[in-house]
Amino acid sequence: MLNKEGGRSKVNVLKVIIYFNVLIYSIDFPVGLWCDRAIIMNVHHLELFYFVAKFEGITNAVRKMPYGIQQPAVSGQLLQLEKNLGVKLFNRRPFTLTAAGEELYDYVYPFFSKMPLVESKLRGEESNTLRIAASAIVLKNHLPIVLGVMKKHNPDLKLHLSDVAPAALGRLIQEEEVDLAVTAVAGPPEAPIKIEPLMEIPVVLLLPADAPEQEFADLLEDDDYLRGKRLKYPLVGMSEEQVISKVFGKFMQQNSVEWERVMQVGALEVIHDYVLQGFGIGIGIQIPGRRLPEGLRAIPLECPAMTLGVLYQGRLKPLAQEFIQHAREAAEALERVK
């Protein structure tokens, strides 16, 4: 019998929903097997397995699960799950899912991954909650003003902000783990992801303010070995999979210019520091309305600009639409400062 006392009834309802959904989604298993195993399948064991698979290990899962549980308890319950199923679900060290584990994770992921959203909807919180993912630089430099304006219009606003590498943002949108992602792109995203463009961000080369070079051609010298051109100075930049590196690399290839990357860093702001310390010239961006740190100047490049935009999929809820509107207004204000 379902418990009807306040919040506990919601938890029990959710467990029942998950339980039957797991059975429904398992129809391509032999019916007789699931009829036998359904009685002894424990929903909590499945939930623990979901977290362990998601966070790639029991230790990480214990640290990141939304409720407290000891590591030995998790290990013991997962061993019981494996015993009930009669299969090994994952290898402990190093952590890898077995074929059976991969299959089980595919079944349980759609349900457990959406539990926070279901809980919010039942509590009436979904309409005033916004989940945004972006890089640390975007979270620090671009979002506070926009979100501050939203907070004034929505006093009950609840925000879930995630510091995520740009390469992972598309996956989070597709898996509906976030509502929006704010990032720079070099072209239109792949369907079903859509983008609301906010502003164009030029790619530049950063060098000390007292450097004699005034334009890109001044930074080049003859390369007798390759019979072409190369940069006079080594480069400080981000990893090759970053959008800014791809844009710069394509520009250099089109102009048949060789270059040497002497240092790879994880954030654009770090590039500023090492250029000032004399490690080379940096691959950077010129954000409209923002000045470079003292001691640096930029040489513009004749290459396509990156687009700072908001990624999303499907139909936007009103709060997400409001965020995009305020973000567009903030971008337009920065453009006017130029």
pLDDT tens-digit profile of 181-210? 999 998 888 888 999 999 999 999 999 999
How many CB atoms sit inside 10 A of residue 247's CB? 24
Number of domain units in the chain = 3
Q: How far apart are alpha carbons 87 and 84 in whole angstroms?
A: 8
Looking at the structure, tell me whether residues 22 and 87 fall in a common domain.
yes
Q: Name the domain boundary from 117, 150, 174.
A: 117
Mean model confidence pLDDT for the chain: 83
Distance CA 73, CA 163 (A): 30
**Which structural domain range is residue 142 located in?**
125-194+308-337
1 domain residue, yes or no: no
Question: Looking at the structure, do residues 181 and 327 belong to the same domain, yes or no?
Answer: yes
According to the model, what pLDDT value does residue 13 have?
A: 41
Domain harbouring 25, CATH code: 1.10.10.10
Domain final residue, candidates 61, 84, 117: 117
Phi, psi dihedrals of residue 267, rounded to the nearest 5°: -150, 145
Residues 102 and 11 in one domain: yes
Q: Are residues 218 and 281 in the same domain?
A: yes
How does DSSP classify residue 212? S
What the block records as the tokens of 107 is 């079944």
Residues 121-143 as b/e (b if ≥16 CB within 10 A, e otherwise) read eeeeebeebbbbbbbeebbeebb
Asked which of 70, 92, 117 is the last residue of a domain, the reply is: 117
Look at residue 256 and tell me if it is in a domain. Answer: yes
Question: Are residues 58 and 112 located together in one domain of the fold?
Answer: yes
pLDDT of 313 > 80? The answer is yes
Residue 322 clears pLDDT 70, i.e. is over it? yes
More confidently predicted of 249 and 126? 249
209 & 157 share domain: no
Q: Is the pLDDT of residue 14 over 80?
A: no
Question: Given pLDDT bands bounded at 50, 70 and 90, which one contains residue 333?
Answer: confident
Residue 136 lies in a domain: yes
C-alpha to C-alpha distance for 217 and 221, rounded to whole angstroms: 9
Using CA atoms, how far apart are residues 48 and 65, in angstroms rounded to an integer? 9
Return the amino acid letter for 42. N
The reply to whether 166 and 249 lie within a common domain is no
Residue 55 lies in a domain: yes
**Which secondary-structure segment (H or E) carries 34?**
helix 31-38
Same domain for 154 and 282?
no
Classify 17 as helix, strand or coil: helix
254: number of Cβ within 10 Å: 10
How do strand 228-231 and strand 257-258 relate by DSSP bridges? parallel
Task: Please check whether residues 41 and 29 belong to one and the same domain.
Answer: yes
